[in-house]
Amino acid sequence: MRGPALDVALSLDASDGLGRQPRTSQSLHSHAHLVQFYENESVLLDAVMSTFAPALAAGGAAIAIATKAHLEALAQHSAIWDVPLAAAARQGRYIALDAEETLAACLADGQPHEERFKTLIGAAIARAAFATGKKKPRIAAFGEMVARLWADGNTDAAIRMERLWNGLLASHSFSLLCAYALAGFEKESQDRRFQLICAEHARMIPAESSTALPSAASRRRTISLLQQKAARVEALTIENENLTRRLNSAQAALLEAEKLAAAGRLASSVAHEINNPLEAVANFIYLARTNEDIPEQVRKQLEIADREIWRVAQIAQQTLGFYRNSSEAAWLDVNEVLESVLTIYERKMRARQLQVHRRLGRGLRVRARLGELKQVLSNLIVNAIEASAGSGGIWVRTANARDWKNGEASGVRIVIADNGCGIDAETGSHIFEPFFTTKPAMGTGIGLWVTKSLIEKEGGHIRFRSRKGEKPGTVMSVFLPGVEVKEAPLPVAA
């Protein structure tokens, strides 16, 4: 990324190393379009006088479209250069136009209007040429309208007007000098437009600081130094962009941490409030189970209810992970845990007319906490049920597997799939984020985030694929470390 100063330096002409030839009567030719960058007003005035002097001396004409201040300064500066502007003005060979007024007449809706520009500026050139009495007079023009547009921040309009000048140069015989204060190009965001400005000119004249270089060797050293500084600026720019990205990531992480901390406090309050009624329900279930008169089928259902009440208490505490799990990890039979969760949702699936298709491997065990594994499977199965339409299906599969991230660790893969509505790519990029939900009326946005957190805590991973439209559906695939048992899978059962 090169800055304006370097681009000017690299454009230096071989004639004298300054991007210009000596200021003689042959310095400017018909149809020439030059740009002068300056740091000091006196340099600008000298540049304009060196443009006007040869043309007027040859019996030609000069046109200045400048600010009022610069028009007055040119009138005074002409005495130093011995250029008879006043006499030329009386003869009609010097035309002075106010840049602000002329610019206003050339604009339409803030942009240069081609026809207005051609008519107004073309008339001034024709009037100056007529005053010379020559068939092919030498006409030199100086224009500041583009500089005014640039200074006002209307850079696109400045570039357009430079192009209109080039169009006029193609149909009229005159030379044009534009001028810009170098201070107007200090912003990095202006680099590209600066290059476009330069591209519209036949020659660029660097600011006066470049003339302090006495030899070609010193100019080459300066260019090399500018290149080195440009490289440093580019490196710093890249580093700054990286720091900005890291800062944004840190701020986003801090925001998420604040949200999770607030949710943790809420979860703690909820757990405290529901513990007492849960304990009462658990006591009544215990009393019912110990009643010898209840049927065996009811007793089994009460046992399931008792286990689920215990799990509800655990879930209330572990929501968002802000609790100390008192239960220890143990080797669990994956299929047994999966079947126990499916049993809980049998009624809900029957109500939706959903069929469960099983393909379960044998002897699959993972080391995990029972409540957490049930929570993982429960979240995935509930999501599959809620995504499925009537008469759809849910497919569950367990099998031996290798860790897909490193291909080394053995374990168990649990797949839960549905033929529901599917997930689009944009939604899919957020589903594991906390508080993101596609069910604002009933979802909390923490189910899959909790699921992912619990899986990763045990050294596992979760991934998914999904599609919408024709044959939609979603497949959730979970890997958990475990003992590989090479046995044939059970037959498929509906």
More confident: 152 or 254: 152
pLDDT at 317: 53
Spatial contact of 193 and 160, defined as CB atoms under 8 Å apart: no
Can you tell me the distance from the alpha carbon of 129 to that of 137, in angstroms, rounded to the nearest whole number?
6
Burial tier of 471 (Cβ tally within 10 Å: 0-12, 13-18, 19+)? exposed
Q: Using one digit for the tens of pLDDT, what is the confidence trace for 444-476?
A: 667 788 888 888 888 899 999 998 888 899 999
The lowest-confidence range among 35-39, 274-278, 465-469 is 274-278
pLDDT at 227: 66
Q: Which residues pair with 465 in a beta bridge?
A: 475
More confident: 257 or 108: 108
pLDDT at 75: 94
Q: Do domains 4-212 and 327-483 have the same CATH topology?
A: no
Q: What DSSP character marks residue 367? A: E
pLDDT (average), residues 385-405: 85
For the chain, what percent of residues have pLDDT higher than 70? 76
More confident: 484 or 36: 36
Spatial contact of 282 and 310, defined as CB atoms under 8 Å apart: yes
Q: Which residue, chain included where needed, has tokens 């049998």?
A: 346
User: Which element (helix H / strand E) includes 10?
Assistant: helix 4-10
pLDDT (average), residues 313-335: 64
- The closest of 147, 140, 169 to 50, measured between CA atoms, is 140
Q: pLDDT band for 323, please (50, 70, 90 cuts).
A: very low
pLDDT at 269: 67
Rounded to the nearest 5°, which phi and psi values hold at 37? -100, 135
Q: What ranges in 206-215 are assigned the alpha helix state H?
A: none
Q: Using one digit for the tens of pLDDT, what is the confidence trace for 173-212?
A: 999 999 998 888 777 677 788 888 888 988 877 766 555 5
| Cβ neighbours around 193 below 10 Å, total | 17
Q: pLDDT band for 28, please (50, 70, 90 cuts).
A: very low
**Mean of the per-residue pLDDT values of the chain:** 80
pLDDT at 484: 46
**Is residue 390 helix, strand or coil?**
coil
Q: Which CATH class is domain 327-483?
A: alpha beta
| Cβ neighbours around 283 below 10 Å, total | 10
Q: Which residues pair with 141 in a beta bridge?
A: 63, 176
Can you tell me the distance from the alpha carbon of 99 to that of 97, in angstroms, rounded to the nearest whole number?
6
Rounded to the nearest 5°, which phi and psi values hold at 109? 55, 40
Q: Which residues contact 61 (CB under 8 A, 6 or more apart)?
A: 55, 88, 92, 93, 94, 95, 128, 129, 131, 132, 137, 138, 139, 140
**225-231: Cβ within 8 A, 24+ apart:** 226/5, 226/6, 226/9, 227/6, 229/6, 230/1, 230/2, 230/3, 230/6
Cα 217 to Cα 14, 206, 220, 221, 222: the distances in Å are: 13, 18, 5, 6, 9
Can you tell me the distance from the alpha carbon of 168 to that of 112, in angstroms, rounded to the nearest whole number?
13
Q: Which residues pair with 483 in a beta bridge?
A: 365
pLDDT (average), residues 37-57: 92
The lowest-confidence range among 39-43, 215-219, 489-493 is 489-493
More confident: 9 or 380: 380
Indicate the CATH number of 4-212 among 3.40.50.300, 3.30.365.10, 3.40.630.30, 3.20.20.70: 3.40.50.300
For the chain, what percent of residues have pLDDT higher than 90? 36
Can you tell me the distance from the alpha carbon of 262 to that of 269, in angstroms, rounded to the nearest whole number?
11
**Is residue 453 helix, strand or coil?**
helix
Encoded tokens for 278:
């849960």
Q: Where are the domains of the chain?
A: 4-212, 327-483
